[in-house]
Chain A
Amino acid sequence: MQGKAALASLLLALAGLTLLAGGTRSLQPLRVELTQLNSTPLESYVQTEGQTLRLSGGRVFLCREQFCIRAFASTRLSRVLRGNRTFEVQGLVREYEGRRQLLVVSAEEK
C-alpha cells in the first residue's frame, strides 16, 4: 500500500466530486408558466382556495404545447389558487421518448 499517493488520490477525488456536485447545483432553474394540466386548466383540479395540489400516482404529465412537464410523486404544487397563476418551477428540460420534457424538482407561486 502506498499511503501518501493513496491519500493524494483520495483528496483529488473528493475535490473533483465536490466540483462536479457544485457544477450540478449551479444549473439555472427554468421558469415556466403552468396554466394547464393534461390540457385542462389548472383551476379545474383545485376545488377550494388554498388547497394543496399534490401530484400523485407515480408520475403525472403536465403537457403544454411542445413541453411535457413530468413531476414525480413527492412534488407538491402548493397554494394553487383559482385562476391562471404563475409559478416558478425548478426543473430540467430533457429529451425523453422523443419529446422535450421538464422534470419538476420544485414549484412555487411567484
Chain B
Amino acid sequence: MLELLSAWLAGLAAGATGLAPFAHTNLALELFKGSTGQAGAVFSAALAFSHAAFEALPAVFFGIPALDYAAGVLPAHALALQGKGREALELTLNTLLASGLASLLLLPLALTLVPALYEVVKPITPFLLLAIMLALAATERSWLLKAAALLVFALSGALGVLALSSPFVPGEPLFALLTGLFGFPALLAARGTISVECRKEKPENTKPAWRWVVAGSIAGALSGVVPAVSGAMLSAVLFIALEEDRRSFLTVSAALVGSRLFYDAVATQTIGKARSGAAAAVLESLGFADAAGLALSLAGGLLALLLACEATRKLAPLLAAWMAKPQVRPNATLLVFLLALGAVYFQSGWPGMLVAATGAAVGALPLFLGVKRSHAMGCLLLPSILHGLLGPWELEALVLCC
C-alpha cells in the first residue's frame, strides 16, 4: 500500500514537467521510470493525467501547441491574447475533469458501439476527410477565395507530409509543424501586442457545455479504441467544424484530451494495444486483461488529475501577474516567440526550425488572403488521407523517392 501511495505521489510530481512547454509525457516517463507491476501502472497513470493538467498552463498562456492538445490550444491562446487567459485555462481544466467523469459513464457504450461504428467508417475515411476539406473550401465567399483556400490546404498538406513522413526531421515534428502553422501566425495576428491579463478576481463563464464534453469524450473513445485515428487528426476535424466558436472548440478539444487519457489506458486491458507512451507503460507494468489493476490505475490517474488541476489554478494568477509586470509586459510577444522557438529547437533541432519557419509562412497566408485558418489543417489531414489510400510505408517511400 505504501509502495502504491509513493508511486502515485511520484507520478503526480513528475507530471509537473508539463509546465515546461517542450517536455512531453513520454520524455517525463523516460526520465522518471522506475517502479514495475501495479505501482508502475499507478505511477504512469498519475504522471500522464497530471501532466495533461499542468501542460495546459504554457499551452494557454504561451500558445505553444502541446502535443496532447494539438489544435486545441488555438482558441485558448486566442483568448489569452485578448487578456482572457485565465478564463480559457479554467474552462480547459473544468472540461478535463468533466471529461474524466463522462468517459467513465460512457465506457460501456464506447466498448460496444465505437468499434462497430469505426468498421463502417474505416473504408471511406480518406474520402470523408477529402470531402470535409473540399466542403470547407466551398464555404469561402468567392471563387478567388475558394482557390486561395485550396492553395493553403495544398501547401500545408505538403508541409505536413514532408515533416511527418520524412526522417529528415527528428524528434517530434508535429510540435514544430503546429507551432509554425498556428502559433507564430497568432502572434503576428496579435500585431506585436499581447493584451496581458491584469484582473485579480476569478474569471466567470468557465463552465463547460456538457454536449461538447460528451462529443469530445466520444471522439476520445474513438481514438483510444480503434487504430489509425489519432487525437491530432480528430482535433483537426473538430477545429474545421468549430473554428468560429472558440469556447465550444476549446471545450471539445480539452474533453478529447481527457477522454483519450482514459480510453488509452482502457485499451491496454481490453484489446491489449497501447496507443500512447503512457498506455505502453501501463501495459508493460500490468500485462493484459488485469481489470482490477486497470481500475486502480485509472482511479489514481483521475485523482492526480483533480489535484493537478487545482495546483494549475493556483499557478495561473502568478504567471499572469508576472507577465503583467512593467518590465515583462512590453516584451511579452518576443518572450512567447523566443520560448516557442527554443522549444522547437529542443524538440527537433535545425530541421524543426525549418519546418516551423515554413509553417509560419504557410500559416500567415490565410491572414493575408482573408480565408479561414482551418484550411491549414491540411497539414494533418492530407497525410491522413494519403496514409489511408497508400499505407504508411508506401507514403514514406513516396516521400523518399520524390
Q: Distance (Å) between the CB of A68 and the closest chain B CB?
A: 13
> B365 near A10 (CB under 8 angstroms)?
yes
Q: Are the CB atoms of A103 and B163 closer together than 8 Å?
A: no
Chain B's nearest CB lies how many Å from the CB of A33?
21
Which residues of chain B (108-142) have a CB below 8 Å from chain A? none
Per the bound structure, the CA–CA distance linking A26 and B355 in Å amounts to 16
Least CB distance, A36 to chain B, in whole angstroms: 21
Total count of chain B residues near the partner, CB < 8 A = 32
Partner of A16, one of B148, B354, B368: B354
Asked if A9 and B361 make an inter-chain contact with CB atoms under 8 angstroms apart, the answer reads yes
Interface residues of B in 375-401 (CB under 8 A from A): 391, 393-394, 396-397, 399-401
Residues of A within 8 A of B364 (CB): 5, 9
What are the residues of chain A within 8 A of B162 when measuring CB–CB?
17, 20-21, 24
Write out the residue numbers on chain B whose beta carbons fall within 8 Å of the beta carbon of A72: 391, 393-394, 397
Q: Is the CB of A13 within 8 A of B365?
A: yes
What number of A residues sit within 8 Å (CB to CB) of B? 26
Given A17-B162, A23-B351: A103 and B396 interface contact (C-beta under 8 Å): yes
Chain A minimum-CB-distance residue to B399: A24
Chain B CB within 10 A, most for which of A24, A94, A105: A24
Q: A17-B159, A21-B162, A70-B393 are in contact. Are A105 and B400 (CB under 8 A)?
A: yes
Min distance, Cβ B162 to any Cβ of chain A, angstroms: 5
Question: Quick check: A13 and B358 within 8 Å, CB to CB?
Answer: yes
Known A-B contacts A6-B365, A20-B162; A59 and B370 likewise in contact (beta carbons under 8 Å): no
CB distance from A83 to the nearest CB of B (A): 29
In the assembled complex, B107 has its CB within 8 A of some CB on chain A: no
> Is B230 in contact with chain A by the CB < 8 A criterion?
no
Q: Which B residues are in CB contact (< 8 Å) with A27? A: 167-168, 400
User: With a CB–CB cut-off of 8 A, which chain A residues contact B370?
Assistant: 1
Q: Quick one: CB contact mask for A8-37 with B, threshold 8 Å, 1 for yes?
A: 011011111101110110110000000000
Contact B167 A24 (CB under 8 A): yes
Chain A CB within 10 Å, residue with most, of B168, B169, B354, B399: B168
Least CB separation from A29: chain B residue: B400
Shortest Cβ gap from B337 to chain A (Å): 17
Most chain B CB inside 10 Å of its own CB: which residue of A2, A23, A92: A23
Give the residue of B163, B369, B394, B397 whose beta carbon is less than 8 angstroms from that of A20. Answer: B163
| Contact call B397/A23, Cβ cutoff below 8 A | no
- Chain B residues whose CB sits within 8 angstroms of the CB of A92 once the complex forms: 167, 396, 400
A20→B396 CA distance, assembly (Å): 14
Cα of A10 to Cα of B394 in the assembled complex, Å: 29
* A9 touching B393, Cβ below 8 Å: no
Assuming the contacts A6-B365, A9-B365, asked whether A24 and B358 have C-beta atoms less than 8 A apart, the reply is no
Nearest residue (CB) in B for A19 is B354
Least CB separation from A7: chain B residue: B368
How far apart sit A17 and B358, CA to CA, in the bound complex (Å)?
Answer: 7
Task: Note all chain A residues with C-beta closer than 8 A to B402.
Answer: 21
B368, A2: Cβ atoms closer than 8 Å: yes
- Tell me the residues in window 68-104 of chain A with beta carbons closer than 8 Å to chain B beta carbons: 70, 72, 92, 94, 103
Distance to closest chain B CB from A64 (angstroms): 18
Which residues does chain B contribute within 8 Å of A17, judged by CB atoms?
155, 158-159, 162, 358
Q: Which 7 A-B pairs have the closest CB atoms?
A: A16-B358, A12-B361, A6-B368, A13-B361, A24-B166, A23-B168, A2-B368
New A-B pairs, 18, CB < 8 Å, besides A6-B365, A17-B158: A2-B368, A2-B369, A6-B369, A9-B365, A13-B358, A16-B354, A16-B355, A19-B358, A20-B162, A20-B169, A24-B166, A24-B399, A27-B167, A70-B393, A72-B394, A103-B393, A103-B400, A105-B400
